[in-house]
Structure 1
Amino acid sequence: MSHIGQAIAGTKICSKVKIAEGAAALMLAAHQVKLGDPVIAAVVRSKISETVAAWSDRSEAAACAAVLTLYGPDGSNVPGLLLLKN
């Protein structure tokens, strides 16, 4: 749940990336994460808020570099969860 929340936050702190919907759906299904569950949804929202707040005083360039390092095509956390927009 943390990864999906951080990746969604990544799209809020870096305007150059978007969620790879197929990769996100596969990850959620593999871990049986149900975003419709109110507890899970609250955890994801909390992670989004926490991550956005943590990056609020940093540059977008730094945020983009960080989210791509974690969730970009060769990301260290969940590779391919974020894609560069066209």
Structure 2
Amino acid sequence: MVTSTHEGSHRIFQDHPEVLGPVFEVLGLPPPVKADIEAITPDATEIKPLERRVDTVLRVEPSDGQGFLLAIEAQTRKAPDKGVNWA
């Protein structure tokens, strides 16, 4: 169920992607240098009639050209099956 807390946590990344620095640190990844970051559609629906949405999807385009997508999901409790479900 979507709540204002859930939406607010994603608006932070969507509207202020510069706050991603600590996220990269926690993940043990180097943050991209001079990257353009934009929010893109979170719709992950496949050809099958099954709708899937990611809370926030950001396109990160570092100046070195090695772009990637970053999917962000908020969880209000531990979800042990989440990793398997995402795969």
Instruction: Give the shorter-chain TM-score range.
Output: under 0.3
Structure (1/2) with the larger strand percentage: 2
Structure (1/2) with the larger helix percentage: 1
Q: State the structure with more CA Rg.
A: 2
